[in-house]
Structure formats: C-alpha cells, structure tokens
C-alpha cells in the first residue's frame, strides 16, 4: 500500500506529501527520537506525538515512509517547510496512536 | 592503509539545536549519490546523527569527518566538550546526563552511544574529562 492510499483510507490530514507514491511497510510508534531511530524500520509509518523540527531529520535518517502525528498534534510552519524540502511525508489525525496502528494493521497485515 | 576515496568534513554547530542533523542528512545524500547500499547508508547516517546530536547536547558542537574507503566507511567525531567521565555507564541503554529541556525535545533517552555501537561494526571512544571526546566508528562495506 502506498502512502497516499493510506492517507486516503484513514482520512489523514496532509501537512506535506512530497512522496505520496512511497510504499509503506509496517508501523512504528514512539516519541523518544533516538529510540525510534534505533528501532524503526525502513518504510515504516512512524506514529508520534512529537512535533519539533528534529522529527524531520529522524524520519529522513530512519527512512520511514511517512510521519503520522496522532491526537490532533500539528507542527509549526517552519517544520512543515523543512519536511517539504527534505521530501518527508507528514500527516496529522485526531486518532490515537493505537487507533492508527490498528487500522494500518487491518488494511495491510 | 589505502587512501580514502572520498572525504567529507562538517562543522557541527553547538548553538543551533534546530539544525542538528544537517551533516548526517548531507552524508546520507552523498552516500546515495555514490551508489552505496541503502542498509549501509541507514547505519552510517543514524550513527552519525546520534554523534552529531551528542556533540550539540553535551559538547557545544564539534567536527565530523566521514572517510569512504574501498572496504569501509569511517566516521570520526571530535569535540572539545566536557568529556565522558564513565564510558561504561554512558554505553548503557537508558543512561543519560541530558538536561530536561533536551528531554522535552525527545532526546536524552540514553540511546545515543548504544545506537552508535549498534549500527557500526567497530567503535572506539577516546575521552578525557575537561578536554573532549574523540570517536571513530567504522562500517564495513
């Protein structure tokens, strides 16, 4: 399943979507950035409530397919601009991390 | 010892926490242009990012050199920060001296050095309290 298909199926609100054709592969939930970098796998949908600028670098380096901000978290415009520039897909949704993961599992597993 | 085919050098700005990671992202881009395997790129760039963040959090910045050889990639990190008093403790997952404002950004989980070790084939730490820390990490190709 592609990022844009997931976004559409879960009605995720797009903040940036420079690479919507990227294939997703699994899901990882976490807010401690180094923990996420050490554990998330390439292609994962990364679900977090962390919204500072460093999430963009972590997403790039861990090579996740997109970031989904849970529970209605949003980002400042500066974060949006950097995510766009670095080609990082970024979404927000009112759902909890658990609800998002459960729906991803239902769609893809 | 053969000469490095490609050598990259970065100054890591200790003042600017928001730009931390720029060197690692640049390294990732350079390695991709060289056609290096994507899993190797992931290892190198994550290890380098952790080192870069450590230099920003603890040492007021520093320097990073990335040397690409035929058979390996070496990442050298040098800072003139406070040094690491107990390297054995610092290598334990979950052990951190990062202040609360850093933790609120999602760092300071005590995973930096363990991740650097996890993602590289060899890591050497040479640290003197009050003088600084020098780290050499190697990822085999």
B60 and chain A: CB distance < 8 Å anywhere?
A: no
Contact A33 B46 (CB under 8 A): no
In a domain, residue B1? The reply is no
Contact A54 B105 (CB under 8 A): yes
pLDDT digits (tens, 9 = 90+) for B68-80: 999 999 999 999 9
- Interface residue of B13, B17, B21, B56 to substitute, partner A, most A CBs within 10 Å: B21
In a domain, residue B134? The reply is yes
Residue A52's CATH number: 3.40.1390.20
How far apart are alpha carbons A11 and B129 in whole angstroms?
52
The total of structural domains in chain B comes to 1
DSSP H helices in chain B: 22-33, 38-59, 87-90, 100-103, 112-118
In a domain, residue B12? The reply is yes
pLDDT digits (tens, 9 = 90+) for B16-54: 777 788 899 999 999 999 999 999 999 999 999 999 999
Q: Is the pLDDT at B109 greater than 70, yes or no?
A: yes
Percent of chain B with pLDDT over 90: 76
Contact A38 B42 (CB under 8 A): no
Residue B63's CATH number: 3.30.565.10
| pLDDT score for A24 | 97
Q: Closest approach of chain B CAs to the CA of A23, in angstroms?
A: 16
| pLDDT score for A16 | 98
Cα–Cα distances in angstroms (integers) from residue B4 to residues A70, B59, B63, in the given order: 44, 28, 18
Q: Closest approach of chain B CAs to the CA of A85, in angstroms?
A: 12
Q: What is the span of the domain harbouring residue A72?
A: 3-108
A32 and chain B: CB distance < 8 Å anywhere?
A: yes
The total of structural domains in chain A comes to 1
Q: Is the pLDDT at B127 greater than 70, yes or no?
A: yes
How far apart are alpha carbons B48 and B70 in whole angstroms?
19
Q: Closest approach of chain B CAs to the CA of A77, in angstroms?
A: 14
């Amino acid at each position: 399943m592609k990022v844009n298909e997931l976004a559409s199926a879960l009605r995720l609100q797009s903040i940036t979507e420079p690479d919507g054709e990227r294939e997703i592969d699994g899901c990882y939930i976490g807010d401690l950035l180094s923990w996420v970098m050490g554990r998330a796998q390439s292609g994962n949908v990364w679900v977090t409530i962390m919204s500072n600028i460093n999430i963009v670098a972590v997403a790039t380096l861990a090579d996740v397919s997109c970031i989904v901000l849970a529970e209605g978290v949003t980002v400042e415009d500066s974060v949006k601009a950097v995510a766009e520039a670095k080609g990082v897909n970024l979404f927000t949704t009112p759902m909890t991390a658990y609800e998002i993961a459960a729906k991803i599992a239902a769609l893809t597993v | 010892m053969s000469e490095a085919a490609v050598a990259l050098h970065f100054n890591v700005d200790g003042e600017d926490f928001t730009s931390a990671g720029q060197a690692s992202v640049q390294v990732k881009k350079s390695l991709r242009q060289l056609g290096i395997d994507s899993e190797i790129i992931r290892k190198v760039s994550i290890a380098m990012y952790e080192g870069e963040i450590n230099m920003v959090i603890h040492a007021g910045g520093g320097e990073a050199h990335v040397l690409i050889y035929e058979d390996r990639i070496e990442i050298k990190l040098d800072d003139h920060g406070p040094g690491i008093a107990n390297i054995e403790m610092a290598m334990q997952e979950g052990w951190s001296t990062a202040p609360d404002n850093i933790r609120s950004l999602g760092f300071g989980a005590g995973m930096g050095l363990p991740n650097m070790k996890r993602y590289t084939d060899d890591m050497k730490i040479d640290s003197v309290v009050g003088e600084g820390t020098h780290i050499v990490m190697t990822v085999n190709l």
